[in-house]
């Protein structure tokens, strides 16, 4: 088979070469007629053979083989009619076979497109129809108008000549539409088939031009070579193997440019045809095709609007729905809770009540570990149905994530909530029939009431979670939140989780810029620790550091903070940003043996100079143990580290007392800064001015924290304060969100 196509290719090359070197009126009947007919018949037979010997695309090959064979027989008939330099009649018997090519070619193209687009969206079919109709309209209006009007032959001859442009217009429309329908599929077979069809159209066009306006050397060559080349290409296309497409490639393949360019160009062409038709004479066929194109465009626009609405609704449904269980998810839960508490703020808070049930499954992990995640997923699907069946239609079941669920009971009191919770617990204790086993689980349910136990969504979830944890520890199915019992117990739980948080790297640093009030630059930031708690969200240090202090975890946390801050400082400096970082240190940690060594090792490990670090300590504890603190501060100064006295002014220490310590910075307590610009704070204004002047006299850098507005910032700048820090400049943010710029007002 491949040898046959190689012979055909060599023949076509030789035929083209002979056409070029021959004179325009020189005709070799044995070569131009019989040899070419033989090549076309061989290509057609090979195409039909594809249908016999290879089931893949059998019907495409069969239709295309019949089409090309019909054209080849037409060439044989024409050769016979032209023997002895005779002029074939018009219309000729050959025209019957030539025109027989078109219906089978249409069928072949449609079957090929259908094979490659088995589940094609309606929009893509419409895009193909628009592109095809628009191309056909433009072709009918401009390409063939002059040809048809200048034939000047008998009615049968004119009808025969008219059949070709009409057939080619439809063929062109199908090919262009196919490019859009087969978007993203750059299949060699389709490209060759489309090229063959296009060459056939070129040959027809060239022939009609020769009949109407006379022949040229180039036209003779193009007319002669186009048809046999087209038949060979179409036949060869059926033998090109289909390239297998991987799953990831199918999923990631986007729309090609054809999907956008061709339909838009076709719509413009249709408008142009109608515009020209209103000014000049244009064939009715072109007008009809242009009108059909615009009708298809209107249908496509209506379908696009409908699809966008459906897509928007579906995406909204997916965003608030748990895919596995079909229940609502955490996002939807918090929307409902936020709406409830917002309504409660504007109306009587006691008018409506809401019970929140936090449901945590027992022994679910054992099922996953023993029988695999598919068994666990199957159980969760059944559990979603049970939850929905055990509550009222007005209540809301939610999957929070993993094996945690929630149920919202609207307008229910605590007694009603306990009844529902016990019913849910009993329902979940019934065996679950899975594919591989019958499994039994249980549930621990915590109840919290709004607005009695909490006045915001996060607080309500936290209260219910605390009650659930008490139920689990007490091995009872249901427990309601009780403040006197749960606060102390939750602190114990939080402390247990803090050990895990340190080991699993749940702690994070946020950074708050310190603005240089003298030049408006940001060259220093304060590192502030946060806990990205998987259950409670982002926790501020006041929520967990006191417990860490009591449990002796501060050295580990401090070590982590210094390493993380030094690493980030190194990254900033390597990127060209000369930033220093302030780190808060508790007084107990400062006085721990080995603290200075830990700081030295952390700086060395990350290649950060000592002057890039500021250690902030509170004044009260330092003054109470002044001798020990002085030694540590001097050792830090020896490393180049700046020591800062934080919250200065909140205690009773004087600047003169601190002059005995090797500190380099004072941070004014926010109690001095708040309301500094108001008219009744003259005393505070004098204190701040005096502190700044005395601090500068002692060689100290003055930082004001807690700046909330631009007026206070400008006032402190006029007072000579060195640095400012507060929400007016920037809230604490993760390193990648930090912007090192601030526009100070003139």
Is residue 365 assigned to a domain? yes
Total-model pTM: 0.44
Structural domain containing residue 10: 2-117+182-240
How far is it, in rounded angstroms, from Cα 246 to Cα 326?
31
3-state secondary structure at position 317: helix
What pLDDT shows up at residue 181? 63
pLDDT, tens digit, for every residue of 285-313?
Answer: 677 777 877 787 777 777 767 767 776 67
CA dist., res. 235 & res. 50, Å (int)? 9
The pLDDT of residue 598 is: 94
| Lowest-confidence region among 129-143, 191-205, 237-251, 354-368 | 237-251
Q: What is the mean pLDDT of residues 252-256?
A: 45
Mind giving me the DSSP string for 113-140?
HHHH-TT--HHHHHHHHHHHHHHHHHII
Span 347-372, mean pLDDT?
81
Which of 481, 512, 530 is the endpoint of a domain? Answer: 481
Asked if 698 and 719 count as a contact pair (C-beta separation under 8 A), the reply is: no
The first and second tokens of residue 567, run together, are: 């690493």
Q: Lowest-pLDDT range, 426-440, 600-614, 621-635, 652-666?
A: 652-666
Pull the structure tokens for residue 394. 């007005």
Shared domain check, 336 and 435:
yes
> Would the pLDDT of 641 be above 90?
yes
- The CA distance from 542 to 474, in Å, is 29
Cβ-contact 183, 255 below 8 angstroms: yes
DSSP string, 195-263: HHHHHHHHHHHHHHHHHHH---HHHHHHHHHHHHHHHHHHHHHTTSPPPP--HHHHHH----THHHHHH
Same-domain check for residues 684 and 601: yes
Confidence of residue 435 (pLDDT cuts 50, 70, 90): confident
Please give the DSSP secondary-structure letter assigned to residue 86. Answer: P
Mean pLDDT score, 389-396: 85
Instruction: Report if residue 702 sits inside a domain.
Output: yes
**Whole-number pLDDT of residue 565:** 95
User: CA 83 → CA 19, 613, 662, distances in Å?
Assistant: 20, 101, 116
Predicted confidence (pLDDT) at residue 371 exceeds the cutoff of 90 = no
The 10s digit of each residue's pLDDT in 502-531 is: 888 899 999 999 999 988 899 999 999 999
Give alpha helix (H) positions in 592-742.
595-606, 619-624, 626-638, 655-658, 670-673, 682-697, 710-719
What is the β-pairing status of strands 478-480 and 442-450? parallel
Rounded to an integer, the average pLDDT of 456-465 is 87
Q: Residue length, the chain? A: 746
Question: pLDDT tens across 147-158, in order?
Answer: 555 444 554 555
Q: What share of the chain in percent tops pLDDT 90? A: 18
Pairing of the two strands 701-705 and 665-668: parallel
Determine which of 6-15, 32-41, 345-354, 648-657 has the lowest per-residue pLDDT on average. Answer: 648-657
**Do 509 and 468 fall within a single domain?**
no
DSSP conformation class of 361: E
Kindly state whether residue 453 falls inside one of the protein's structural domains.
yes
357: enclosing H helix or E strand: strand 354-362
pLDDT at 20: 78
Contact (Cβ atoms closer than 8 angstroms) between residue 104 and residue 66: yes
The CATH number of residue 365's host domain is: 3.30.70.270
Residue 369 has pLDDT above 70, yes or no: yes
548 and 675 housed in the same domain = yes
Going by C-alpha positions, the residue among 60, 166, 66, 184 that lies closest to residue 113 is: 60
Domain annotation covers residue 540 = yes
What's the chain's average pLDDT?
A: 79
pLDDT single digits (tens) 487-498: 556 667 777 888
b/e string for 58-95 if b means 16 or more Cβ within 10 A?
Answer: eebbbbbbbbbbbbbbbbbbbbeebeeeeeeeebbebb
Task: Give which of 295, 229, 288 is closest to 267, Cα–Cα.
Answer: 295
Q: Are residues 453 and 549 in the same domain?
A: no
Identify whether 195 is part of a domain. Answer: yes
- Closest among 309, 288, 289, 307 to 299, alpha carbons compared: 307
Question: How many beta carbons lie within 10 A of that of residue 235, not counting itself?
Answer: 30
pLDDT at residue 478 greater than cutoff 70: yes
Lowest mean pLDDT among 136-150, 317-331, 662-676: 136-150
Predicted pLDDT at 614: 95
Is residue 170 a part of any domain in this protein?
no
Question: In this model, does residue 464 exceed pLDDT 70?
Answer: yes
Side-chain-side CA neighbours of 136 within 13 Å: the count stands at 29
* pLDDT for the residue numbered 636: 92
pLDDT in tens, 588-625: 788 888 999 999 999 999 999 999 999 998 766 566 67
What does the pLDDT read at residue 133? 64
Which comes out higher in pLDDT, residue 123 or 48?
A: 48
Q: Is residue 100 domain-shared with residue 187, that is, in the same domain?
A: yes
Q: Of all residues in the chain, what percent carry a pLDDT higher than 70? A: 74
pLDDT value at residue 250? 44
- 678 has a pLDDT exceeding 80: no
Question: Are the C-beta atoms of 514 and 703 separated by less than 8 Å?
Answer: yes
Residues 141 and 58 in one domain: no
Please report the pLDDT score of residue 152 as a whole number.
47
Q: Is the model's pLDDT at 260 over the cut of 70?
A: no
The alpha carbon dihedral of 55, 61, 62, 65 has a sign of negative
CA distances from residue 568 to 46, 560, 565 in whole angstroms, order as listed? 70, 12, 5
Are 639 and 704 part of one and the same domain? yes
Of 227, 234, 254, nearest to 191 by C-alpha is: 234
Give the helix, strand, coil percentages of the chain, each rounded to 5.
60, 15, 25
Residue 268 lies in a domain: yes
pLDDT digit string, tens, across residues 516-575? 998 889 999 999 999 988 877 788 888 788 778 877 888 899 999 999 999 999 999 999
How many Å from the N-terminal Cα to the C-terminal Cα in the chain?
85
407 and 428 inside one domain = yes
**CATH number for the domain that contains residue 557:** 3.20.20.450
Contact between 379 and 318 under an 8 Å Cβ cutoff? The reply is no
d(CA 432, CA 382): 8
At residue 445, the 3 state secondary structure works out as: strand
Domain shared by 200 and 277, yes or no: no
Number of domains comprising the chain: 4
Is the confidence at residue 446, as pLDDT, over 90?
Answer: yes
537 lies in the same domain as 623: yes
Tell me whether residue 487 is in a domain.
Answer: no
Question: Does position 51 have pLDDT exceeding 50, yes or no?
Answer: yes
> In the predicted model, what is the mean pLDDT of residues 417-422?
91
pLDDT attached to residue 716 = 92
Confidence of residue 254 (pLDDT cuts 50, 70, 90): very low
How far is the CA of 621 from the CAs of 559, 591, 598, 628, in angstroms? 21, 10, 21, 11
Q: How many other CB atoms sit within 10 Å of the CB of residue 113?
A: 22
Q: Are residues 334 and 309 in the same domain?
A: no
The dihedrals phi and psi of 444, each to the nearest 5 degrees, come to: -110, 125
Are 90 and 160 spatial neighbours (Cβ–Cβ below 8 Å)?
yes
CA dist., res. 263 & res. 261, Å (int): 6
Given 282, 297, 319, the domain boundary residue is 319
* Cβ burial, residue 712 (10 Å; 0-12/13-18/19+): buried
Judged against a pLDDT cut of 90, whether residue 673 lies above it is answered with no
pLDDT tens, 193-252? 888 887 877 776 666 656 554 455 565 666 677 888 888 888 888 888 765 554 334 444
Local confidence band at 720 (pLDDT 50, 70, 90 cut-offs)? very high
């Amino acid at each position: 088979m491949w040898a046959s196509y190689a012979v055909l290719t060599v023949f076509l090359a030789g035929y083209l070469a002979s056409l070029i070197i021959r004179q325009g009126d020189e005709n070799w009947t044995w070569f131009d007629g019989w040899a070419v007919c033989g090549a076309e018949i061989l290509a057609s037979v090979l195409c039909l053979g594809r249908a016999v010997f290879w089931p893949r695309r059998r019907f495409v090959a069969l239709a295309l083989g019949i089409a090309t064979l019909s054209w080849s027989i037409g060439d044989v008939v024409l050769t016979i009619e032209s023997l002895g330099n005779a002029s074939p009649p018009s219309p000729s018997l050959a025209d019957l076979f030539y025109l027989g090519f078109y219906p089978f070619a249409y069928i072949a193209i449609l079957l090929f497109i259908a094979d490659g687009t088995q589940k094609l969206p309606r929009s893509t079919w419409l895009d193909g129809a628009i592109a095809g109709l628009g191309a056909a309209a433009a072709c009918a209006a401009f390409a063939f108008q002059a040809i048809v009007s200048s034939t000047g032959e008998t009615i049968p001859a004119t009808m025969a000549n008219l059949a070709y442009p009409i057939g080619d217009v439809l063929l062109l429309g199908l090919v262009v539409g196919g490019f859009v329908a087969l978007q993203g599929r750059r299949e060699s077979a389709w490209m060759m088939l489309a090229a063959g069809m296009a060459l056939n159209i070129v040959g027809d066009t060239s022939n009609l031009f020769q009949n109407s306006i006379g022949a040229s050397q180039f036209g003779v060559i193009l007319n002669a070579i186009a048809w046999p080349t087209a038949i060979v290409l179409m036949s060869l296309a059926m033998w090109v193997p289909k390239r297998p497409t991987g799953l990831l490639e199918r999923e990631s393949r986007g729309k090609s440019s054809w999907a956008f360019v061709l339909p838009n160009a076709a719509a413009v062409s249709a408008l142009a045809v109608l515009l020209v038709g209103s000014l000049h004479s244009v064939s009715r066929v072109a007008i009809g095709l242009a009108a059909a194109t615009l009708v298809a465009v209107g249908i496509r626009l209506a379908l696009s609007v409908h699809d966008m609405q459906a897509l928007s609704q579906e995406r909204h449904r997916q965003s608030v729905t748990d895919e596995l269980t079909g229940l609502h998810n955490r996002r939807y839960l918090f929307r409902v809770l936020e709406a409830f508490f917002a309504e409660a703020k504007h109306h009587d808070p006691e008018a409506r009540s809401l019970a929140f049930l936090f449901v945590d499954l027992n022994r679910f992990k054992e099922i996953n570990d023993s029988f695999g995640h598919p068994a666990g997923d199957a159980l969760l699907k059944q559990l979603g149905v049970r939850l929905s069946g055990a509550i009222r239609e007005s209540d809301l079941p939610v999957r929070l994530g993993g094996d945690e669920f929630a149920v919202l009971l609207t307008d229910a009191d605590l007694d009603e909530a306990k009844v529902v919770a016990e019913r849910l617990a009993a329902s979940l204790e019934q065996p679950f029939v899975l594919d591989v086993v019958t499994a039994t689980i249980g549930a621990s349910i915590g109840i919290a009431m709004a607005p009695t136990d909490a006045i915001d969504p996060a607080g309500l979830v936290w209260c219910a979670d605390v009650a659930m944890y008490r139920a689990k520890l007490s091995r009872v199915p249901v427990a309601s939140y009780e403040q006197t019992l749960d606060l102390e117990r939750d602190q114990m739980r939080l402390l247990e989780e803090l050990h895990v948080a340190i080991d699993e790297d749940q702690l994070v640093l946020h950074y708050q810029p310190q603005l240089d009030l003298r030049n408006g630059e940001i060259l220093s930031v304060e590192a502030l620790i946060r806990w990205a708690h998987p259950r409670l969200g982002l926790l501020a240090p006041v929520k967990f550091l006191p417990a860490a202090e009591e449990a002796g975890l501060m050295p580990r946390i401090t070590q982590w903070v210094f390493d993380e801050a030094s690493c980030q400082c190194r990254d900033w400096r390597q990127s060209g940003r000369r930033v220093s970082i302030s780190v808060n240190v508790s007084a107990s940690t400062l006085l721990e043996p080995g603290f200075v060594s830990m700081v030295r090792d952390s700086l060395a490990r990350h290649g950060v100079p000592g002057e890039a670090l500021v250690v902030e300590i509170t004044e009260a504890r330092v003054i109470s143990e002044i001798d020990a603190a002085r030694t540590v501060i001097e050792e830090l100064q020896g490393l180049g580290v700046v020591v800062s006295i934080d919250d200065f002014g909140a205690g009773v220490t004087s600047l003169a007392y601190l002059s005995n310590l090797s500190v380099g910075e004072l941070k004014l307590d926010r109690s001095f800064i708040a309301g500094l610009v108001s008219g009744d704070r003259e005393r505070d204004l004098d204190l701040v001015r005096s502190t700044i002047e005395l601090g500068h006299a002692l060689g100290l850098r003055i930082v004001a924290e807690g700046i909330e507005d631009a007026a206070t910032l400008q006032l402190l700048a006029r007072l000579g304060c060195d640095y400012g820090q507060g929400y007016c400049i920037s809230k604490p943010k993760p390193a990648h969100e930090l912007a090192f710029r601030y526009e100070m007002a003139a």
